[in-house]
Amino acid sequence: MKFEIKTDQNRFSDRLSLSLAISIITFFAVLFTNISFNLNKLTSYYEINYLCRLILVDKSQSNFKKLSKLTKQLKKQKIWDFCREFSF
């Protein structure tokens, strides 16, 4: 009489590869999210800097509106003060 035990080696291997794949996907998702948030902050900083310099040269209404949206300032005097502090 023969006695055989069937062991499934592939089940452990499949679980390991699945958990590794999920870990790698999660890592890259977090990494790309972090990069996108940092790029958003960086672009808004440079846009505010550019518009503040533009206001110092050209005092058009559209530039004030764009800066008002970015900085959440409603009055022109506050935008002027913000740009003076931001530029220097």
Q: What is the pLDDT of residues 31-84, one digit of tens each?
A: 999 999 999 889 888 888 888 888 877 777 888 888 888 888 888 888 888 888
Token readout for 51 is 């518009």
pLDDT at 60: 79
> Tens digit of pLDDT for each residue in 26-40?
999 999 999 999 998
Please tell me the pTM assigned to this model.
0.58
DSSP category for residue 59: -
